[in-house]
Chain A
Amino acid sequence: MTRYTSATDADRAEMLAKIGAGSVADLFSEIPEAVRLQKPMDIPAGMSEQDVYDHLAALAGRNRDCEAEISFLGAGMYDHYVPALIDSILSRSEFLTPYTPYQPEISQGGLQVMFEYQTAISELTGLPVSNASLYEGPSSVPAAGWLAIQENKRTRFVVSRGLHPHSRETLETYARGFGATVHEAGLDETGATDVDALAALVDEDTAAVFVQQPNFLGTVEDLGVLSEAAKRTGALFVCAADPLPLGILAPPGEFGVDVCVGEGQTLGNRLDFGGPSFGFFAASEDHIRKMPGRIAGETKDVDGRRGFVLTLQTREQHIRREKATHNICTAQALNALAGVIYLSWLGRKGIVELGELMLRRTAYARQALPFEAINSGPVVREFAVKVPDMDALFQAARAEGVNPGYRLGRDYPEYQDGLLVAITERRTKEHIDKLARIAAGVGAEVTA
């Protein structure tokens, strides 16, 4: 037997006798002979726990993680500090190992967490209704698009080129199923969405308009102006946002945003090479019955005690089936729990202090690095610059244990020499100065 099963030979004999079967193989007699596997699977034999540990540790050792270098990588996921209490609470079996809360009487912990999480997301986005989370960031964007199509039966999406490339590509993928088309408005010379270009694309058949705050280059968008352009013909205005800078930025809900979605990794979730994290989804009140996913609500039990339940479940696939508001089954409960713990840990003042620290260090980095800006507009934690000799910079930086950031060329051919630099609270003045020194050295070589 494997170490995760307990049936002894004696157990098997007794159980088979009770069933009235001669052997375990007899239990599979319903499977036609022709579709039974006649050989062992080509998967290596099991190993002892310590051998498996060594193998997984060896694989981990061949990755250069954010503890092994000074990383300026961002572009959608960020090296923020995850406080120790998150590890401690998330490792509790009572949070780690239950299924989705179908029996509310024995799931009050998880349900209350969802309610607290929804409250926090509502506060950050300035929108009254939040669900209990979706898979992750980019796939939350088409979820907003699907809500728009259900609400207004239109078939065009207009997106800013400042929306994360993964979000745009994911929206394109889903749009083929939705029977919708995607039209893109470019960025202006400051790195912000070109409002006139966006306005020109919005027509009577536009279901939704998508922008990102801050946008992919890090630029803080003028949501008020974009909102006006987006909503002229009755389209829904969707803002993908990074929730952490929303601690210091005016909430999207103040600008007429109908749906605010985004990647939740920055709220206390590990990088994990891209997942799992969570996507958040908040909306104005009038869209509550078209929201995707789980929603927790407050109520009372038969004795009048306060409690929480999954509510408005008739929206969901297990009840409404082909008429459901989305096909998603659960949420990212554990990751959303990390999110609400993180926000409690930061607290009302801390989220502002952290935002301001990032803002100032980023401003410092922009000055310190000897590169021309791609986006000259306001930024919080990330910015793009032109690097004359990218390969040389990476080579020199790698040699000193520094990862300078994300190369924009693959996603933005117009910024072939572009580098996206992220400054989280983990990147100190010393780190920034080091990158600046390396950059200056490379620059000197280039000009020499």
Chain B
Amino acid sequence: MTSELVPERPDTITIYERSREGRRAFVSPETDVPETPISELLPAGAIRKDPAKLPEISEPEIVRHYNNLSKKNFDLDTGFYPLGSCTMKHNPKLNERVAGLPGHSRLHPLQDPAYAQGALELMWNLQGALSEVAGLPHVSLQPSAGSHGELAGLLLTRAYHEDRGQTRTKVLTPDTAHGTNPATVVMAGYEVVKVGTDEHGGVDIDDLEAKIGDDVACLMLTNPNTLGLFDRNIERIAQIVHGAGATLYYDGANLNAVMGISRPGDMGFDIVHFNLHKSFTQPHGGGGPGGGPIAVSDRIEPYLPRPQVVRNDSSNGHGPSFDLDYDRPKSIGRLRGFQGNYGVFVRSYTYIRSVGGDGLREAAETAVLNANYLKALLAEPGIAEQLPIAFDRTCMHEFVLSGSGAKQNLGIKTLDIAKRLLDHRVHPPTVYFPLLVDEALMIEPTETETKETLDDFARIVREILEEAAQDPEIARNAPYSTPVRRLDEAGAARNPVVRQPL
């Protein structure tokens, strides 16, 4: 595919391979105190003998190295990224600007609260907004990611039951759940019990009723679920779970579909986690950082992590003041250091204030509109035979297709379609999840994409399928235009090389 006029791209080299003895980027501040020998300041056994083999390199070379590396990444600011379950919506640029203000970015986490009133007020306001989105009265911003919020939720569940003198041993998770759910259950000391999916793609109520009991601590649920479907039986599910004395946990991965439209608290959930990097525009950063605040009902509140932001309304005419409350005797304790990912809070709060309550609702509406529109485009003849929809209902913010047709009719797998999409400069959907759909493609277009982008994506998918009907080898060997082609992942796993020998 490469034109013969284009010289071959050189193999990549690492920052360590760019190192040349004697080069440097760092110039130390002057030593303005006595130059006491190090041997007088540290015991001999504590002093490093061989310096860490960090690179020796000048600033221009560092900048070039990382700028060149950056160009080997596909990113959301450059193209369509319909990665299901990840909510790749636009990351507003204002967020970065305000997060970089020294008053936010250079504030020490242990600054006396009296001198961090702006930060604490921001956190208080963000808590209020998240509480309103969740329909639950209390929020802790502390968890660092969705998985961290899940663990918080199950430790809260444990504390709640134990406080009532109950020992419960099981947590229910649907077979469509994200892998984090069962992994979290085990870390929280519970046994995983799977609940099946019914023919409509929702929780199998009969199976739930068979598995619920007074040994069940919690049901973890994503709604809309990972098939992109809203569980119509949610009220019945809540009734069954609460009837057994268990808590109902809301995995907020798919919250983007229902902001301002339906609230987990109103559905009967006790604990909700938010993914600030999904619904609330924190950039994903190539895999972190994120934020995973939780909202809870009154009965869970006493156990929330320490510290909590509190507001004191003064009577002397000054405005309210804010503080950190550590005196929470029933708290599960800390989940991490300090107060959480404040830099993420600044960005998400900025987003919320930019669009407002109505804007959040509009985001959800448009996300659902875009998903259903794209679903309709991909249900047209020529595509639908190869990529049938897994559950044919009105979807929410995402939907799941099965590559079973393409595999059978064209001899190409979902993976091949994904790889061929790369040549079209589109990020592929999430593939091979959820597990119960054969050759799954999970597509989430988000609200920030235009109709033209969705039309274009459908056209590309059609082209790939038509091309495969002519010659499946093209997709099987794709991609061709990327910085590297298919990589030997088996070799990497058999003989892991996880650092550079120096």
Contacts and interface: CB of A to CB of B under 8 A. Distances in A.
Nearest to B44: A250
Given A64-B111, A170-B335, A274-B337, A363 B36 contact: yes
Contacts of B19: 348
A164 B189 CA distance: 25
Given A174-B187, A324-B183, A334-B286, A306 B12 contact: yes
A256 B337 CA distance: 27
B293 interface: no
A286 interface: no
Contact of A305 (B35, B183, B449, B484): B484
Given A109-B69, A249-B42, A299-B497, 6 more contacts: A43-B356, A63-B119, A68-B102, A272-B99, A299-B492, A335-B289
B24 A309 contact: no
B376 A20 contact: yes
A408 to B, nearest CB: 11
A303 B182 CA distance: 39
B366 to A, nearest CB: 5
Interface string B71-109: 111111110010100101111101011111111111111
Nearest to A59: B118
Interface in B463-502: 477, 479, 482-489, 491-493, 496-500, 502
A58 B103 CA distance: 9
A179 B148 CA distance: 18
Interface string B445-460: 0011111000000000
Contacts of A441: none
A29 B422 CA distance: 36
A96 B88 CA distance: 12
A88 B60 CA distance: 12
Nearest to A405: B110
Contacts of B361: 40-41
A96 B52 CA distance: 28
Contact of A46 (B16, B147, B359, B449): B359
Interface in B336-356: 336-344, 346, 349-350, 352-356
Interface in A247-279: 247-251, 263, 270-276, 278
A72 B427 CA distance: 47
A45 B69 contact: no
Nearest to A7: B366
Interface stretch (B241-249, B258-266, B382-390, B400-408): B258-266
Interface string B355-368: 11111111101101
Nearest to A133: B288
7 contacts: A4-B447, A28-B261, A68-B103, A248-B42, A249-B46, A297-B497, A349-B56
Given A59-B121, A274-B338, A378-B42, A288 B284 contact: no
Contacts of A137: 337
B144 A136 contact: yes
A30 B128 CA distance: 28
B245 to A, nearest CB: 20
Interface string B361-399: 111011011101101110000000000000001101000
Contact of B287 (A75, A295, A331, A425): A331
A448 interface: no
Interface stretch (B204-212, B230-238, B294-302, B310-318): B230-238
A169 B305 CA distance: 11
Nearest to B171: A322
Interface stretch (A202-210, A230-238, A352-360): A352-360
A188 to B, nearest CB: 15
Interface in A78-131: 79, 83, 85, 87-89, 91-110, 112-113, 115-116, 118-120, 122-124, 128-130
Given A93-B77, A249-B47, A349-B51, A19 B373 contact: yes
Given A37-B262, A57-B98, A274-B339, A348 B154 contact: no
B145 A302 contact: no
A60 B337 contact: no
A61 B103 CA distance: 6
B337 A273 contact: no
Nearest to B267: A35
A71 B115 CA distance: 12
A317 interface: yes
B104 A115 contact: no
Nearest to B65: A344
B28 interface: yes
A326 B41 contact: no
Contacts of B78: 93-94
Interface residues of B, number: 206
Contacts of B34: 360, 364
A56 B101 contact: yes
Contacts of B15: 116, 340, 344
A34 interface: yes
A220 B180 contact: no
B117 A116 contact: no
A267 to B, nearest CB: 11
A375 interface: no
B285 interface: yes
Contacts of B71: 94, 109
B496 A297 contact: yes
A220 B43 contact: yes
Contact of A31 (B119, B230, B306, B448): B230
B45 A222 contact: yes
A146 interface: yes
B132 interface: yes
Given A110-B286, A135-B148, A63 B115 contact: yes
Contacts of A403: 108, 111
B337 A363 contact: no
A446 interface: no
A59 B227 CA distance: 41
Contacts of A324: 179, 182-183, 186
B54 interface: yes
A16 B108 CA distance: 50
A311 B492 contact: yes
A376 interface: no
A139 B155 CA distance: 14
Contact of A94 (B75, B101, B356): B75
Contact of B266 (A6, A37, A113, A378): A37
Nearest to A60: B103
A365 B81 CA distance: 53
A333 B334 contact: no
A409 interface: no
B427 to A, nearest CB: 7
Contact of B42 (A18, A115, A178, A359): A359
A295 B496 contact: yes
A299 B489 contact: yes
B240 interface: no
A348 B54 contact: yes
A429 interface: yes
Interface string B138-151: 00000011111011
A12 B65 CA distance: 45
B32 A428 contact: yes
Interface in A165-205: 166-167, 169-170, 172-174, 176-179
B70 A248 contact: no
Nearest to B236: A32
Interface in A127-166: 128-130, 132-133, 135-139, 146, 164, 166
B221 interface: no
B410 interface: no
Contact of A347 (B25, B266, B487): B25
A343 B54 contact: yes
A444 interface: no
